[in-house]
Amino acid sequence: MNLLRLLLKEPLTHFVLLGGLLFAAYSLVTERDVLDADSRVITVDREALTNFLQYRSSAFEPGFFTAQYDSMSDEQLAELARSYVREEAMAREASALGLDKNDYVIRRRMVQKIEYLVAGADLNPRPPTEQELRTYFEAHMDDFRQDAEFTFTHVFVDAEKDHPGGMEAEARRLLARLRSAHAGFNDAPAYGDRFPYQRNYVRQFLGPIANELGPQFAARLAALQPGENWQGPFAGNYGLHLILFTDRTQAREPDFSEVREQVLAAVQEERRTSTREALLDELVDQYELRYVGVPSIESLAGNGDS
Amino acid sequence: MSIRQLVLGGAAVFSLAMVPLAQSVAQGNGPSATQLFWGELHLHTNHSLDAYITANTTVTPDMAYRYARGIPIQQPGLDRKIQIRRPLDFMAVTDHAEMMGLFTLLNRADETLLATPWGRRAMAAHVRDPGRGGAMSVTTAGMAGPPAPELQEMMSQVYSDAVRSTAWSVEIEAAERNYIPGTFTTMFGWEWSSVVDGGKNLHRVVVANTDAEGAASFIPYSSQDSQRPEDLWAWMSATRERTGVDFLAIPHNSNISGGLMFQMTDSDGQPISAAYARARQSWEPLVEVTQAKGTSEVHPEIATNDEFADFEIRRKLLIGTPTPADEGDYARSALLRGLQIQDRTGVNPYNFGMIGSTDSHTGLSSVQENDFYGKLVSDIPLSQHVIGPRPVIFPAWEMGASGRVAAWAEENTRAGIFAALRRKEVYATTGPRIALRMFGGFNFTAADADARDIAAVGYARGIPMGGDLTAAPAGRAPELLIHAVKDPLSGNLDRVQVVKGWIDDDGEAHERIYDVAWSDGRQKDRAGHLPAVGNTVDLETGLYTNSIGAVQLATVWTDPDFKADQAAFYYVRVLEIPTPRHSLLDAIALGIDVAQTGQPATIQERAYSSPIWYTPVR
């Protein structure tokens, strides 16, 4: 038995790719299956044992283990050969006794191979028509809905700094100054403490705003109306904010043309997934299914032949 | 989040939309309008052979980009849709060039391939054992360097220029389709996967600065063409000459290079020459120092005085054999070696900046400890940790949920991001979006740390990370203006450190670590040691609180040990407070003792700036 064959099927073997298994690979692809003819002969040679060493160590590097093999004393080699012969004989006996049947680990491995085949099925499904795209778009409008966007600048009062009279008083003083100076959007950087994140939030969604200023701030903002006056103070994660909230767009449903590319990608991915599903359904269809006291999906859906 | 947000782009559009306003308020017209963009420059899809055989059969380059943009995709390995929490700003899919896309070409019965006897043989093997052995046995030859004579025929058929072009064109189309200038930048890249000397990793990610047409003007250079970095540089040089396309090569996993990544010699064992050093510094201005297979900043057995050096250290080569600590493996010792080689040859081959990326083979760029999809698709089902044989070389819990590349760029476009990479105004994090500014100069004052706009001060009176200083005014030492801000969705900051390396008058290398800013008003002890920040992680629930640590730390630090005639580098390391490692969260979910994961329960995530160098006047 060619242990290398096993090796090459190990999940870890992709690291072997990086090593020098040239000849082994070559012979593997060219040889035919030869497992049954001499199944009672176990050949113990240098190749078998260096492979055995690698497999046992789960480290696949021929040079390293050839060197290890070559440095072993006769006693060590004999010991290694004994382990190898035992494992080999046990594996063959188990196979002859049919112990590989009804073994869930082996079963899962075989299933996994089918899964690979299915996953590798044609990844270029039939291109959808414009009408199909529109139908998908309308049926999945929630995926394409545009969230509300907010534009504002803010002046920050840092909770970690000492302000005369406290943070609230400082915020009120700043608000009065901003209002009396008729401070505009681009005047904000001259006021307040350094905020760790952004000064201006332009056409931004509520989620990222909540990440940086805090959920309590985002909730307040969502309830406000835009205008030309400074508003606040509003509490955030790191202190108080005075804001000039200039613009908001409501959540809306986009036109199909705006998101056509995204719809196309979504449809194609869905088709690839359903191709895989269809293949598995076809596979199952090749079997006669006898449900005994157990409902099938089809019978529950009311369209099967129970 | 809805798909629509991807169109106009989640967090990214925000950055873009900021540009006009930020510019209008910036002081002067300097580059302080640089914005922080977050990216991934090392990601594999089902186009990489090893990704495919570890169960990533479904995530294509296109899906990988769409996931990074924030579009929901079908998760490989599990039957459900997933969506990234925070979209990225830029990304390069970087599949292995070696036998790129072979399995996907077989899956679609590519005609070029099947027209050849070896292609048909590969197909037969693929059908017989699609997941693993099969066609891989053919392709093994492809990743193992120049083929033996009897295999050249096979290579000429399954790895012909026609086959390589077909696979590369899929990558080009995916990058082009997902490029939204200003919102999401895609770059053309691949991995050159050289492994020499029995498992020693010399891998480089190659990134091209071009458009789709330029990308189609060459075929990615692979380790099948040559395993020698010098040959890769020669190819980049010749290809730039021929096509006008510029390239960068970014080494990664120097930590498992068996000492070969940052040698004092070239590939032939000759001492590094000025010509080698010039080629290396022009083609390899960056090194990826943190990713799933560990960090390559420093090793605790090399930097014995660095109490934070024992962090996500990997001690096995790609083939699983143990590897000892080696100065040729780590970025900090390489930066020191660079100064020494510069002393001898006049050119520093190792004056690189530092970035992080994931090297994930799932097609999913994920770095959050509490939202980590592993290195391999086969890691994704949690049950695999406790049921069935555990992989020995890459057990899921040994892998790190890391890292990210952060770029200070003037715009989120291919040109803008590539320029930031070229000038090394980029840095690494182990995942969290820690914002980090560092400027060096001789004209800062302590009050600059309090400036409302640190960048405006920094650009006006200093140079940003990645740059060079020289000619210190008499009596002045280099000053670093540093500002670090926590990731709003991650742990607070513990401390900011400056790592300095220099060579003395005898050419001896030295390094020292300075704690320069820290949280909670801690006092250093008599020996100058800063006490630990504490740990709020609840090992039962996996929760932590930001009741310790700082939201932001800023300082102006002046080198207290400066000598104007000694070459030096400085980089900044920022540490978060301890937070739960992904393996702890798995252990809690599985109801097992965290000790069974073999990993620490908590980690201190971190950021590494690119260095600033000081070079004495001759």
Task: Report CB contact under 8 Å: A116, B2.
Answer: no
Residues A82-119 pLDDT 10s:
999 999 988 888 888 778 877 777 787 778 777 777 77
- Give the position of tokens 């803008």: B416
Tokens for B391, please give them.
């992989």
Say what the pLDDT of residue B70 is. 92
pLDDT tens per residue, range B236-286: 999 999 999 999 999 999 999 999 999 999 999 999 999 999 999 999 999
User: Is residue B250 within 8 Å of residue B286, measured between CB atoms?
Assistant: yes
Low-confidence spans in chain A with pLDDT less than 50: 1-35, 304-306
Query: What's the CA gap between A58 and B68, in Å, rounded?
Result: 34
Q: Can you give the pLDDT at residue A36? A: 56
Domains of chain B: which residue ranges? Answer: 3-429, 435-615
Q: Which of A2, A12, A18 to mutate to test the interface with B (most CBs of B within 10 A)?
A: A18
Between residues 230 and 289 of chain A, which touch chain B (CB distance below 8 Å)? 237-238, 254, 258-259, 261-262, 265-266, 269, 272-273
Element (H, E) at B579: strand B579-580
Q: What are phi and psi of A220, to 5 degrees?
A: -65, -45
How far is it, in rounded angstroms, from Cα A56 to Cα A54? 5
Cβ of A269 within 8 Å of Cβ of B74? The answer is: yes
A112 touches chain B (CB under 8 A): yes
Q: Is B31's pLDDT higher than 60?
A: no
Residues of chain B positioned with their CB less than 8 A from the CB of A7? none
Coil, helix or strand at residue A22: helix
| Chain segment B318-352, per-residue pLDDT in tens | 888 889 999 999 999 999 999 999 999 999 999 99
Q: Which of B1, B25, B321 to mutate to test the interface with A (most CBs of A within 10 A)?
A: B25
Q: What are the structure tokens assigned to B508, written together?
A: 């001896």
Q: Which of B449, B436, B459 is nearest to B558 (CA)?
A: B449
Contact B372, B401 (CB under 8 A): yes
Checking if the pLDDT of B48 tops 50, the result is yes
Q: Picking from A15-19, B160-164, B431-435, which range would have the lowest pLDDT averaged per residue?
A: A15-19
pLDDT at A62: 66
String of DSSP letters for A60-98: --HHHHHHHHHT--HHHHHHHHHHHHHHHHHHHHHHHTT
Q: What pLDDT is attached to residue A109? A: 72
Name the one residue in this structure whose structure tokens are 């060039």: B97
Would you call the peptide bond into B458 cis, given omega within 30 degrees of 0 as the criterion?
no
Query: Quick one: which of B444, B464, B424 has its CA closest to B30?
Result: B464
* Interface with chain A: mutation pick from B14, B75, B375, highest number of A CBs within 10 Å: B14
First CA to last CA distance, chain B: 57
Chain B residue closest to A19 (CA)? B144
| Residue A147 to residue B2, Cβ atoms within 8 A | yes
Full-model pTM: 0.82
Task: Name which of A15, A112, A123 is nearest B108 (Cβ-Cβ).
Answer: A123
Give the per-residue pLDDT at B119: 84
Asked if pLDDT for residue B430 goes beyond 90, the answer is: yes
Q: Hey, is B37 helix, strand or coil?
A: strand
> Encoding tokens for residue A245?
């909230």
Predicted confidence (pLDDT) per residue in B602-611, tens digit: 999 999 999 9
- Shortest distance, CA B448 to any CA of chain A (angstroms): 12
Structure tokens at A154: 């803010």
Q: Of A33, A30, A7, A27, whose CA–CA distance to A19 is shortest? A: A7
Q: Give the pLDDT confidence of B200-235 residue by residue, as tens digits.
A: 999 999 999 999 999 999 999 999 899 999 999 999
The answer to whether B277 touches B341, Cβ cutoff 8 Å, is yes
Higher pLDDT: B17 or B419? It is B419
pLDDT tens digits, residue range A259-277? Answer: 998 899 888 888 888 887 8
pLDDT at A277: 81
Q: Which of residues 158-217 of A touch B (CB under 8 A)?
A: 160, 185-186, 188-189, 193-194, 196-205, 207-208, 211-212
User: What is the per-residue pLDDT for B473?
Assistant: 94
The residue ranking higher by pLDDT, B523 or A111, is: B523
Torsion sign, CA atoms A180, A181, A182, A188: negative
Starting at the edge strand that comes first in sequence, how are the strands of the sheet with B286-291 ordered? B294-295, B286-291, B353-356
User: Domains, chain A, ranges and CATH?
Assistant: 3-101 (no CATH), 102-130+264-306 (no CATH), 146-249 (3.10.50.40)
Q: Is the pLDDT of residue B134 over 70?
A: no
Which one-letter amino acid corresponds to residue A141? M
CB contacts < 8 A (A, B):
235
- Confidence check: pLDDT of B539 > 80: yes
User: Which secondary structure element, helix H or strand E, spans residue A268, and what is its range?
Assistant: helix A256-285
**Which CA distances in Å does B527 have to B391, B464, B524?**
45, 32, 8
* Window A:6-35, CB contacts with B under 8 Å: 8-26, 28-29
pLDDT at B28: 37
A28 to B147: CB separation less than 8 angstroms, yes or no: no
Q: What is the mean pLDDT of residues B572-594?
A: 95
Residue B499 confidence (pLDDT): 98
- For residue B224, the chain A residues in CB contact (below 8 A) are none
Give the residue from chain B lying closest to A193, CA to CA: B452
